[in-house]
Structure 1
Amino acid sequence: MRISAYEDLPFAIFQYLPNQEWELRKELDLLMTRLKEFGKQVYILPLSQLLQVALDKIQQKDKYEGLEALIVLEQQRGYLEAQRQMITYLSEPIWAPLWNVLAEVLLPLDPCGTITFLTGASALAPGLFQVSTLLNKMHNRTKVPTILFYPGSIEGTTGLRFMDLADRNALGNYRVKIYS
């Protein structure tokens, strides 16, 4: 099964409108059943779980950082400041870059027999992390075919507007095929 034209970036995006979340979940169950009938293992990875793994890694590095520190920061200085700190956690090499966390989670999976579904991208809203950055940073990091289920609208052939938010720029990656 080939979802991507690039072996070094075996990702695809399935774009759906945010108001279709419940329909998508039902269809995912059916798709998983069909893939299993063809001998594929389906690994569902909610992005919220990936965020939790990242926060746990941060806490292990520094007991004064992580989720509790974010909660206190938000209480004292507001949501935007806490969001900026989370972006730092997920982007800086000294903490837990989200692409490293994803690569570690995918590492033990068999690329020939497994397909991964990245779900729950709305956990990254409104501005915790750009999905396009995550995919760009996964170049040459895994061979496991992975489909990101993306809530948003599509513009042109590669532009995706996250959660269909009017104030967000449409971003994309020309190397990752978009299905809708």
Structure 2
Amino acid sequence: MSSLEEQIKTLEKDLINQPMRISAYHDLPFAIFLYHPGNEYLCRKHIRLLGISLEQNYKKKVTFISIGKMLWKIIKETEGIDALVSGEKQFGFDRIQQTINQLMTDRDFMPLADLLEEQVNHLDPSKDIVFLVRVGALAPAIFRASVLLNQMHGRTMVPIILFYPGTSEGLTDLKFMDIQDREMSGAYNYRVKIYGDI
């Protein structure tokens, strides 16, 4: 059994435990699953298998929510793709990343946390689990995943697992997508348990 499979099994055990052991805080039912970006497709396979196992063996309902799809929804329903392409040509890539971040955070547009809350507010915390996937769409620096988990605190009690492509930097930080020179850019939230390759 590979390290990835072992870590998925550890996560599964904590998800089926009563009460769940994914967090030390009752009001913060979130966790991060860290995996190397080079294992993206292998991780997707194991995530799907985990979802099937939770549903068939433990009567849980797993909802997969793609950060990538939400990102494109926000872009299409606010500024539009053409405006961003034009803006990138005129102002450069870094400026457009900042613009997209504003679209995802500013109340005048479509905050990502609000969109996620809409998608989970009908779910039952005792039966449902959310897997946040395709987080790599936020690369290289559109939005910090930790901000999303922090913003969801108090909005839902539905367990959420953020599948995070990256590597660990020491004991206190994660490096998103293993991008060099991106120290202190990770998703680490000291109150959220981290599974995976730490």
Q: TM-score, normalised by structure 1?
A: 0.89
Structure 1 stretch 112-121 or stretch 66-75: which is displaced more?
66-75
- Contact 1:53-1:101 at 8 Å conserved across structures: no
Q: Secondary structure at the match of 2:28?
A: coil
1:48 maps to which of 68, 71, 81: 68
Q: Secondary structure at the match of 1:82?
A: helix
For residues 30-179 of structure 1, the aligned pairs below 5 Å read 30-37=49-56, 38-58=58-78, 65-170=79-184, 171=186, 172-179=188-195
How many residues in Structure 1 have an aligned counterpart in Structure 2?
A: 174
Q: Residues of 2 paired with 1:33 and 1:138: CA distance? A: 25
Q: Residues of 2 paired with 1:12 and 1:117: CA distance? A: 10
Deviation (angstroms), 1:166: 1.6
- Contact 1:8-1:141 at 8 Å conserved across structures: no
1:56-98 per-residue CA deviation (whole Å, 9 max, x = no partner) reads: 442xxxxxx2333212211332222211111111121211111
Q: Residues of 2 paired with 1:8 and 1:176: CA distance? A: 11
1:96-138 per-residue CA deviation (whole Å, 9 max, x = no partner) reads: 1111111111111121111111011110000110111111111
Q: Which residue of 1 aligns with 2:27?
A: 8
Higher RCO, 1 or 2 (CA under 8 Å, sep at least 6)? 1
Q: Residues of 1 paired with 2:64 and 2:122: CA distance? A: 14
Q: Which residue of 1 aligns with 2:41?
A: 22
Q: Could you tell me which runs of 5 or more consecutive residues in structure 2 were left unpaired when the two chains were aligned.
A: 1-15
Q: Could you tell me which runs of 5 or more consecutive residues in structure 1 were left unpaired when the two chains were aligned.
A: 59-64
Structure 1 residue identity aligned to 2:42: E
Q: Secondary structure at the match of 1:7?
A: coil
Q: Considering only aligned residues, what root-mean-square deviation do their CA atoms show, in Å?
A: 1.5
- Contact 1:4-1:176 at 8 Å conserved across structures: yes
1:8-61 per-residue CA deviation (whole Å, 9 max, x = no partner) reads: 221100000111111111111211111012101111111111213323442xxx
Q: Residues of 1 paired with 2:152 and 2:92: CA distance? A: 31
Q: Residues of 2 paired with 1:6 and 1:30: CA distance? A: 27
- Contact 1:41-1:114 at 8 Å conserved across structures: yes
Q: Residues of 1 paired with 2:64 and 2:172: CA distance? A: 24
Q: TM-score, normalised by structure 2?
A: 0.82
Divergent runs of 4+, >6 A: none
Structure 1 stretch 76-85 or stretch 122-131: which is displaced more?
76-85
